[in-house]
Structure formats: structure tokens, C-alpha cells
Chains A and B, each alone.
Chain A
Amino acid sequence: MIETPTSHGSLLLIGVNHTTAPIEVRERLAISAARLADATRTLAHQPGIREAMILSTCNRVEFLIDAENAGDVLATHAPSFLPRFVHEYFSVAPSSLEPHLYTFREREAVRHLFRVASSLDSMVVGEPQILGQVKTSWNVAREVGAITSNERIASTLDPLLQRAFSVAKRVRSETQIGSSSVSIASVAVDLARKIFGSLTGKTVLIVGAGKMADLAARHLIQQGATTLLVSNRTEARAQKIADALRTPHITTGVIPLDHLHAEAHRADIIITSTGAGAEAGEHIFTRSQAAHLVQRRRNRPIFFVDIAVPRDVDPTVNKVEGCFVYDIDDLQQVAAQNQASRSKEAEAAETIVSSEVERYHQRRSAAPAVEAIKQLQLSAETLRQQELHRTAARLAAEPFSPAQQAAVDALTKSLTAKLLHPQLTLLRESSNTPKDE
């Protein structure tokens, strides 16, 4: 027998995020991956909580709760269990949190969860990591029993989170919210992909040992680049970077600055960050040098990422066929355009979220009626079967022929359906349940 809820709990979402709390507050509440299971279990064991999940990322800490006692929970601004939990677990005075906390209930809690999963509430709207983080929290909550994953016991949070994942997927597939990069390093990777397609097997040359160049190189390596060359005025520093990035799959090497132009043709992507060339009155890569590089590469394209100020690569290099030059302003401009494009897509995503919140609530409010309809149909069918068996037993001496049996079966089914019809119609109308549910 499947257990069904006689009444719904109260859905609550309480938390802080990058818009309501400074990092000093968020870091005090942050829960590491190693402690997440324990924290979730502790929260779920608080009195009055039926199910719970904790989402802790660098930008937010949120508690999603299905509470048992709706009246008690809704009576106060912050539910009574929260100060106790916060105090016990984080050793933080609840009063210091109050100004930064937000609380969403029922429909608004659902909307917030859908927005978070769809990355509409993220600091960088459209970033893809948040969905994975929500899934991890969900898995942890299921593992520790804070969310019911048993099919025989009704759960509120489990179907809600699964719905949130579907909504996030719909937002990703129906809008372009995550299709463009908004950081300098990822814009550089995107541009490299537009030129080379897969970066597998590509060679990256870093000229200068700036942090930004190092970051961009790491991004390119993550995307498949397999060879990294480093050229720097101080060779020891170049060697240190090369050593730091060397792995069994990544080949690294150092090119002395004097041999840079003789060796640069080996690189598909050149990241420059010295800022020294222009100071000396000449760019590190001039137009004629770039043309020579392309010639040595038999016209294979070459991508210059110039993040130095003043610039290391002569801007006219971009006019050489096969050479693509992006300086820091170009990259920032692309990132800004992508950010604007994401904001536009976010409007379409908000519409999807609103319609999904509506659908979820319709289904949730119809759930008791659907269950009642199922129970009524089941009882009627049981009764019909019992009566058929009783009649068959009475007529054991002269049993029905198969044709008679089928006729009686059809007759009783029709009678049952007609008798139930007014009650089922009333139930459906009272809950706006579609006929197929």
C-alpha cells in the first residue's frame, strides 16, 4: 500500500546570497563538501522538519525545507528551528544573520529554486556550474535521508527538485543564456575554438609571465591544448611556469626570449603579457614578423591574445591574412556584449520559469484530488470484481459462456463508470484536474 500525505507540508526556502550578504557573512555560513552531509542530516533532524536540503556555494547558502507544522512555521518571520540550527552548527549569533536572510514560502520558494537551478539568480547569469551544485546537494540530501527517495513514501522535495532540473534544462535548450562566455579567459578560449575548432593537440605559447596569461593558458589546456611553451625575460620564472603546468598529458617547454621569433611559428595560440615591447619602441610581434610566421606555418591560422598594456602585438598584425589579434580591450568588449546578450536571454528564461512555477502549482494542488479519484476508482473496481466472483460462484453449476462473461463484464464496467461519473466530475472540477490525470 502506498502511503500518501493527508496534508501538504509547508515549503520554505531560507538563505543568504551575494546580493543580500557580504562575503564576510557568507563565508561564516559556508559549508564545505566534506561537511555537507553532516549539516544536512543535522538540519533534517530539527523538530518540525519533514525534508531538507542545503545548497552551499561561494555565492549562496540556502536551506530548502518542507516543514510539518505549517502554522508554527509561517507564524514567525524566521522559523523557530533556524536560530537553534545556526547557533549549533555555525556558532553564529542568529541576530547577526537576520538582516541578510531572505525567506521564500510556497510558490515563491518554488520560483526561487527554479531561478537558482536555471542560473538566473547567479552572480554571472547563465553560468553552468550552479545546476551541478544543486544536483550534488540533492544527492547528498537523499543519501542522508533528508529527502525521501523511497517511492512508497510521498516526498515533496524530491519531485520539486527533479522539476527544477527539468526547468533548468528547458531554459538551457530554449534560450541562449549559457552560450556565450563572459570572462576574459573564457572569451579567449571561445575565440580560439572559432578559429581551430577542437583545441586538442594545439600548442600555446605564453610570452611574459603575467597572472592573466597563466590563467588563459590553463583554460586552453583544460580545453585540450597539449603543448605549452613559455618565453620570459627571466628564464627561471619561465621554467617555473612550465614545470607547474606540466602533466603526463601536457608537454611544456621554455623558449629563450632571444629565440622567440625563430620558434613562435610552432604555436597556434600566442598569449603575450609583457608590456615591454612598446616601451622599448617596438612591439614584440610586428606586422612583417607575423606575416613571416604565417608563411612558415604554411598559411595555418595563428591567434594572438595580447593582454599586455602597452600592447605587445602591433594592431596591424590583424590585417595579415591568417592572423587574428585580440587585445585586452577587444576581449573585454566581447565579454561585455556577451553579458548584455545573456541579460536579454534572461528575460525569455524568466518567462519559462514563471510558466513552470504555474504548472508545478497546478499539479501540486491537484495531487490530493488525483489521489482521491484513484482511490475511488480502485474501490469501485474492487467492489465490481467481488460481485462478479460472488455471482460466478452462485452459478457454478451453469457457468457463463465466454460471450456471456464478456457481456456481463462490459455491463458492470459501464454501470460502475456511469455511477462514478458525477463524483469524478465534481472532484476534477474542484481541483481543475485534467481528465487524463
Chain B
Amino acid sequence: MSLLWLRVAVVLYGVAALAVLPAALYGRPRWRHLAVPIALLGAFFHFVSIAETFYAAHRALPVDTHETLSLLGLLLAAAFLILATRYKTVAFGIFLLPVIVLLTLAPAFHPGRETVAYPLVGPVWIFLHVALLLAAYAALLISLLASVLYFVQERSLKSKASSNQSKLRLPPLEVIDQIALKALLFGLPCMTAGLLIGSVLALETTGPAFFADPKVLLSIAMWFAYMLMIFIRQQSGLRGRRAAYLSSLAFIFVLAVWAANQLSAVHRFAAP
């Protein structure tokens, strides 16, 4: 049954992804009123699906890559809904909703069959480790998108006549900048706490050898990149094109950490 709910959620996300286009690109309010409730309904079915899966398996953790991706998709859907409600913008949906569809498509139609043996110690801590890191990744993605949208809006305003012919409905520059910064500031404690919890658990189960693992090393590098990005933004008020480059750099670290799952000898969790 949980698969059915997930499939319903994927279809709803797909419809919302289509509805958001006329709303954001042509400023049609009716489509906005359609896109947001459909995405909300999608998130609801998505949540039901995940909750049912965990309940049926008597666990509260994603056990394979597909489940992890699905959980990340749900966090991004929540982020989209928060942005739509708080800032009255659906422009983020142009990118976010297709990403959510892609993240949930595989789990819905080709569920993973991996069975991961979690360490016996602290399942709650492992859940926090996974959830906090996924929240940090979602925040970083939002920040990256905001930087790109800032760049687009800045170009649009500088090109003058063409900016007003463009129908793309984006939030004001300062609002986009606030979103980018707030997302980063939200992500930092999530990433720090997630990595700390993971490190303590690793010390208990694997010992100091854990810290020689490429995935772990990359994770530490990712945290430094994240910190550096926030420091530079706060110090110089960096925004626009340069901020987008900086966010992209941090995001490359995230992708590298994710990919390092394949190389890791000790980090056996399916989650990155």
C-alpha cells in the first residue's frame, strides 16, 4: 500500500510541476492556486507512504538509497511549501518540483531491495544523523537555487526593456538573498550536528580507523566548504553570480560525498 501512496504522490508532484510553469512564467494566479494545494497533497501522500513503510518494517530509518532519496524528496517538498507560503513565490517550484519527481520516481516504481544491517547502538541517533544531513543537503540546494534565481532576476532588471517583457515572476532581489542566507544558516547546525552524531557513533562502532575513510574525509571537507561559504557571505555580503558559484562549489562537495558511498569501506549506510 505504501508504494501506491508514493506513486500517487509522484503523479501529484508531476501535476504540480506542470501547473507551476504558467504560474511562475506567466504570472497566472489561478495556476498558482492549483500548484500549491496539489504539491501539498503530494507531500501528504508522500509522508503517509514513508510513515507506513517505517511502521510496517518496525523501524524509523531509510534502509536503502531509494528510501533515502524519497526522504530527501519529502524534505524538498516541505521546503517548497514553506517558500510558497512564507514568501508567496512558486518560482522555486520550476526547479524543485521536477527534482522531487526525479527523486521519488525510482523509489515509487523501482523500489530498492537492499537490506542494511544497522549497528545495534542508538537507532534514534542514527535517525537524527540521517535526517539532519538530509535537511542540510535540502537547505544547500535551496540556497543554490536562490543564488541562481538572484542572478536571473539581476540580469532581468539590468536588461531593462527585456526585463519587463519577461513574464518570469520572481521574488524581489533582497527577498531571494534572504532566502539563500536563511537556508544556509538553517543548514549549518543541521550539517554540524549530523556529522558530529555520525562521528560519535562511528567511534563507538568502528574506532579511529573510520576517520581515514574517503567518504568521511570528504564529509569533513564539505563541512569546511559550507562554513567558508557562510563566512564569506556574511563578511562581504556576497550575492548574485559569485554567491551562485560559491554555492555550486559547496554543492559539488555534497555530490562528491554522496558518490563516495561507492568507495567507502566503513560507511555502510545506504544514506550518503
- State the A residues within 8 Å of B (CB): 173-174, 176, 179-180, 191, 193-197, 297-301, 318-319, 321-322, 324, 326, 330, 333-334, 337-338
| A324 / chain B contacts, CB cutoff of 8 Å | 157-158
Q: Are B174 and A326 within 8 A (Cβ)?
A: no
Task: Select which of A197, A319, A322, A334 is within 8 A of B171 by beta carbon.
Answer: A197
User: How long is the Cα–Cα vector from A297 to B165 in the complex, in angstroms?
Assistant: 30
Asked if residues A194 and B173 are in contact (CB atoms below 8 Å), the reply is yes
In the bound complex, CA of A322 to CA of B29 (Å)? 30
- Nearest residue, chain A, Cβ from B162: A337
Query: Which chain B residue has the least Cβ–Cβ distance from A196?
Result: B174
Cβ contacts A to B, 11 pairs, < 8 Å:
A173-B29, A174-B30, A179-B27, A191-B157, A194-B153, A197-B173, A301-B174, A324-B157, A326-B160, A333-B161, A337-B164
Interface-located stretch among B40-48, B72-80, B234-242: B234-242
CB distance B172 to A338 under 8 Å?
Answer: no
Contact A197 B164 (CB under 8 A): no
Option from A179, A301, A318 in Cβ contact (under 8 Å) with B173: A301
Q: Is A196 in contact with B164, judged by CB distance below 8 angstroms?
A: no
Whether the pair A338, B164 counts as a contact (CB closer than 8 A) is: yes
Bound: A425/B173 CA distance, A? 62
> Is there an interface contact between A197 and B175, defined as CB atoms closer than 8 Å?
yes
Chain B residues within an 8 Å CB radius of A297: 237
Q: Name A324's closest neighbour in chain B (CB-CB).
A: B157
The 7 closest A-B pairs by CB, nearest first: A298-B237, A197-B172, A299-B237, A197-B175, A330-B160, A334-B164, A195-B173
Q: A191: nearest residue on chain B (CB-CB)?
A: B157
Residues B240 and A321 in contact, CB atoms below 8 Å apart: yes
Given contact pairs A299-B238, A333-B161, A334-B161, A176 touches B27 in the complex (Cβ within 8 A): yes
Contact between B174 and A321, CB atoms less than 8 A apart: no
Per the 8 Å Cβ criterion, residues 130-182 of B in contact with A are: 153-154, 157-158, 160-161, 164-165, 171-175
Chain A's nearest CB lies how many Å from the CB of B155?
Answer: 11
Residue of A nearest to B243 (CB): A299
Determine the chain B residues whose CB is within 8 A of the CB of A173 once the complex forms.
Answer: 29
Closest CB-CB distance, B244 to chain A, in whole Å?
12
User: Which chain B residues have a beta carbon within 8 Å of chain A's beta carbons?
Assistant: 27, 29-30, 153-154, 157-158, 160-161, 164-165, 171-175, 236-242
Q: Do B172 and A194 touch (CB < 8 A)?
A: yes
Chain B residues near A193 (CB, 8 Å)? 172
Measured between beta carbons, the chain B residues less than 8 angstroms from A180 are 164
Q: Identify which of A174, A179, A299 contacts B239 (C-beta below 8 A).
A: A299
B161 contact from A174, A196, A337, Cβ within 8 A: A337
Number of A-B contacts (CB under 8 A): 56
Of A176, A298, A299, most buried by chain B (CB within 10 Å of CB) is: A299
Cα-based distance from A260 to B134 in the complex (angstroms): 50
State A319–B160 Cα separation when bound (angstroms). Answer: 12
Q: Which of B161, B164, B238, B242 has the most CB of A within 10 A?
A: B164
Contact of B174 among A197, A298, A333 (CB under 8 A): A197
Complex CA distance for A59 and B240, rounded to whole angstroms: 45
Assess whether A194 is in contact with B157, with CB atoms less than 8 Å apart.
Answer: yes
* A195→B160 contact, CB < 8 A: no
Q: Closest residue to B158 on the A side, CB-wise?
A: A318
Which chain B residues border A301 with CB–CB below 8 Å?
173-174
Complex CA gap A98/B160 in Å reads: 47
CB-based contact A196/B172 at 8 Å: yes
Q: Give complex CA distance A254, B30 in Å.
A: 47
Given A174-B30, A179-B27, 10 further pairs, Cβ under 8 A: A180-B164, A195-B172, A197-B175, A297-B237, A299-B240, A300-B237, A318-B158, A321-B241, A322-B239, A338-B164
Task: Kindly provide the distance from the CB of A201 to the nearest chain B CB, expressed in whole angstroms.
Answer: 11
- Least CB distance from A428 to B in Å reads 33
Chain B residues within 8 Å of A318, by CB: 158
Query: What separation, in Å, do the CA atoms of A176 and B171 have in the docked complex?
Result: 17
By the criterion CB–CB under 8 Å, are A322 and B157 in contact? no
The residues of A that contact B27 with a CB separation of less than 8 Å are 176, 179
Q: What residues of chain A lie closer than 8 Å to B165, measured between beta carbons?
A: 337
Q: Which residue of chain B has the shortest Cβ distance to A334 in the bound complex? A: B164
CB neighbours of B175 from chain A (8 A): 197
A26 to B153, CA, bound (A): 45
Cα(A337)–Cα(B160), bound, Å: 11
Alpha-carbon gap, A239 to B27, bound state (A): 43
Query: Which residues on the A side are within 8 Å of B236 (C-beta)?
Result: 298-299
CB of A195 within 8 A of CB of B240, answer no
- Among residues of B, the one whose C-beta sits closest to the C-beta of A318 is B158
* B30, B154, B157, B242: residue with the most chain A Cβ atoms closer than 10 Å: B157
Name the residue on B nearest A192 (C-beta).
Answer: B172
- Report the Cα distance A122→B6, complex, angstroms: 52
Please give me the residue from chain A that is nearest to B157 by CB atom.
Answer: A324
Q: How far is the CB of B174 from chain A (nearest CB, A)?
A: 5
B87 to chain A, nearest CB (A): 9
Determine the chain A residues whose CB is within 8 A of the CB of B161 once the complex forms: 330, 333-334, 337
Q: How far is the CB of A312 from chain B (nearest CB, A)?
A: 17
User: Which residue on chain A has the smallest CB distance to residue B87?
Assistant: A197
Is the Cβ of B160 less than 8 Å from the Cβ of A334?
yes
- B158 partner residues in chain A, CB cutoff 8 A: 318-319, 324
Q: Considering only CB atoms, which chain B residue lies closest to A190 in the complex?
A: B164
A298 to B240, CA, bound (A): 13
* A contact residues around B174 at 8 Å (CB): 195-197, 301
- Cα A337 to Cα B173 in complex, Å, equals 22
Q: How far is the CA of A297 from the CA of B177 in the complex (A)?
A: 15
Q: Cβ of B157 and Cβ of A195 under 8 Å apart?
A: yes
